[in-house]
Structure 1
């Protein structure tokens, strides 16, 4: 059993430290359920902090993460973003995990910089502040002035952190595998899948090259937005474990008095900051996944500057449209639309009763049926949605959880700045644009073209497939039984579907060509084309409703 659980003898001391810490903070039951008491020394089993009451367990879990170091601090922070997995009392407590840990020595800072720059620091900086501006579990930040006079922030990864983290990740994966086997109530949450996802996200955060590319991409995306400022990076002095970036002063976004002292209206900052985040999510599909107030500064003129690009979520165009459907369904209290969106987003569970699911979704959205848009507390609505997902043990993509957390944080910070801040109203134009984009004539034309390409590819492959199948039948390798019941109906349906597709392509072509003709000044011909397209569209809708 020891070999199965521990894997490598060299990890045994760390296993013992983790399990002893769990016992010391009152999590005896977890160690016992995993059958790992034998790893703990007898004297360590006695030296405990007593039994943890249900009310006290969240706080003790936070203390466990803090005691066990960087990997577990990050694990706790990630779990604080997963209310679909753990109860709210735990997410609230873990969200308070301190990331400001004891800094490593300035001597080590100099050693890392000189090794990466391959020259004395006197040739790089006019000055380098030995006192860190911030110190976190993975890195710390020092202020420096380059030879050209620019003030930069140096984000430096902790020495040997990758080795420490990798050892802890291996242990976490082994423990997750054991928990999945021995703690049946955890099976719906797939501990191994969660451990692998955590490993992926943490390794990405450790690679500063990825963070630097994210900063550069965000800077390009917001280059024309006067309300946003993305720090520039200094490529010459950036490496996989050092990021040299513009030093941002400013005022914390939630410092209302500081904003007023700077001559900035907090309500305007709430709108511009919310718009910045919503553009990241719904326009670019690349969004800040840790948008707490400490990660945003406000510059003179009300310009918002996001900091820390280590944790970002990504959403492709299709996923953004499904999310728009989900949010629209919640806002307009349409349970059927919510259920369709949940299914499209692959938010599903095992052995779920569809009737009970629809009933509870209806109850959730009907709670807000008498409220107008400006009175809907979207943060509360999303938290209730998460509680609903958790109650049904539905599986939810990690990036979608990060998105929901971001929206809740946006509303929370926005209402700190302006109690009348209405995120639903801020969301509305983004959701409307995503919905309209789905029915844009050019997109419909492209989709029709792709469908025709698929049909052509299938038609090209079909003769070969039939030839191989017939050859297999002749050789007695394949037995085929034909059942032609309903075949004529299938043929009619396929014929109707192909006709519908053809008319759709014609409509799209008419609308696009009419728009081009209208642009060139041929108004009468363009109007005729638009009218024909409208008539065909009405016929198409009527024909489809008969199917």
Structure 2
């Protein structure tokens, strides 16, 4: 019943703001134009279509606001008037009453506001779908005054989100049962992933942990600043962290006038994204312009400032390696290897013919190489790949949905900063270095160092343990132990062989390169 009521609410909002007219007006068929005139009779729709769409999304709640935020970054897909209005959803959602924010803080810390902060600005500086931010001054453990940003959760968010998610779960079930592509698209698993991310975003302590992890990961990169978390002042509905001072990345002209190297900024954004994804397997997954600033401070001039860590994506080692191999093969235009990887991973049926899948991928991707970003649309590439995947029954991977969304955000950001950016050539060297690190001698050495304590303990004991077992009366338990020991010994032998052959191959490779250098052939 609640789902039905929510569905009716959505329909009412659609009609109230004339979104049906916005959709139908894009078609040029005479009968559709006539239908548009009929359905708008008696309704006052003077406001521009972009404003009506933004107001409708705001009134429908946080899930729809986030959808609008994603659309706002895709100026290649959205008309300018709509994209400009949806950009207001990034950090200008109508704020809630500051008195409610103060009451939430006092309830969370069980003491008056004056005892928590040295000073607190009642007027919020930013307001989004899940929370709003106030500036404050705190006193740290050493007694120093620190500038802080206080994030306060919007009241009553959980019931609203749960209603929308219940509706999405129901619709996903319908799609899975009724659509021919239902099994392949895995809509219920995709919605379940989205469900987890949204509920995680309602716990600000989890967001603080995400920020702390990203801060540690990014410390050596010197391309991005992550605010420090003040853990003593963090609660599930209140988050206090270091105040960051920067210029919103959407203000490109202001950054250019300040002397920021905009093309370098665009390249740095790509580097940050691929580092978080492939090196760390832990990435900021809500990278719309409202969450990104640029520092103009002399000590960190031109570096990114990341904000809002409610949504992060994680990848397993298998996911990272598979994706890196796909990207590397793609950048080398090795479409046969891309097709083989899809079959090896089980994403397509094993009966799929490699040459047919290779030809289909080539037809989608080849037209977009060697072009600046302004002449391509990753969104359109993904759309064509989606059409191809349908033909070859490629299964959607729910764990990669956030990555795909973030990649679209990165492309939208890069397009805004530097339309001449070549996304492919910028990413290719990074991925090739990463692959060498993962599959070359360094990977072998790392694994040997990790496993060496274990083998140092096992190897001396193996002969005695095997003798003890063989000299006793065998039973099933001892036979099983013997088999385990033999398996461990075989594994040890393989490791030693890999070390010997890998070392020999590495040395031989160095000798060959030295010989070629002398002959001036390398």
Q: Is residue 319 from structure 1 mapped to residue 319 from structure 2 by the alignment?
A: yes
**Partner of 2:385 in structure 1?**
388
Note if contact 2:326-2:338 (Cα within 8 Å) is conserved in structure 1.
yes
* CA–CA distance in structure 2, aligned partners of residues 499 and 427 of structure 1: 40
Which residue is 2:253 aligned to? 257
Q: What CA deviation, in whole Å up to 9, does each residue of 1:212-247 have, x standing for no partner?
A: 111001111122333321111111111111111111
Question: Normalization by structure 2: what TM-score?
Answer: 0.71
Corresponding residue number in structure 2 for 1:121: 113
Is 1:282 aligned to 2:278, yes or no? Answer: yes
Three-state SS of the structure 2 residue aligned to 1:150 is strand
Match of 1:329?
329
Q: Is the 8 A contact 2:98 2:122 kept in 1?
A: yes
Secondary structure of the 2:328 match is helix
- Of 148-157 and 175-184, the range deviating more from structure 2: 175-184
How do residues 37-436 of structure 1 correspond to structure 2 at under 5 angstroms?
65-74=57-66, 96=86, 98-99=89-90, 100-147=92-139, 148-182=144-178, 188-299=184-295, 300=297, 301-344=301-344, 347-348=347-348, 356-367=356-367, 380=377, 383-393=380-390, 394-436=394-436
Displacement of 1:261 in angstroms is 3.5
Deviation at 1:17, TM superposition (A): 2.2
CA RMSD, aligned part only? 4.6
Distance in 1, matches of 2:439 and 2:409, equals 31
Shift of 1:392: 2.9
Q: Which residue of 1 aligns with 2:516?
A: none
What CA distance in whole angstroms lies between the structure 1 residues aligned with 2:389 and 2:415? Answer: 31
Distance 1:390 1:129, change over 3 A: farther
Summarize the Cα distance change of 1:405–1:13 in structure 2 as closer, same or farther, 3 Å threshold. Answer: closer
Structure 1: stretches of 5+ with no match in the other structure: 1-5, 29-46, 51-55, 469-497, 515-526, 536-547
Q: CA shift at 1:354, angstroms?
A: 6.0
Change (3 A) 1:375 1:344: farther
C-alpha distance in structure 2 between counterparts of 1:27 and 1:58, whole Å? 13
Distance (whole Å) between structure 2 residues aligned to residue 310 and residue 408 of structure 1: 18
* Cα distance, 1:161–1:197 mapped onto 2, change above 3 Å: same
Retained in 2: the 8 A contact 1:379–1:412? Answer: no
Q: Which has the higher contact order (CA 8 A, sep 6+)?
A: 2
The whole-number CA distance in structure 1 between the counterparts of 2:59 and 2:9 is 10
**What is the aligned partner in structure 2 of residue 524 from structure 1?**
none
CA distance in 2, matches of 1:317, 1:163: 36
Deviations 1:365-417 (A, max 9, x none): 4435xx65x86889636741442224433333245343344345434434544
For the Cα contact (< 8 Å) 2:190–2:398, is it kept in 1? no
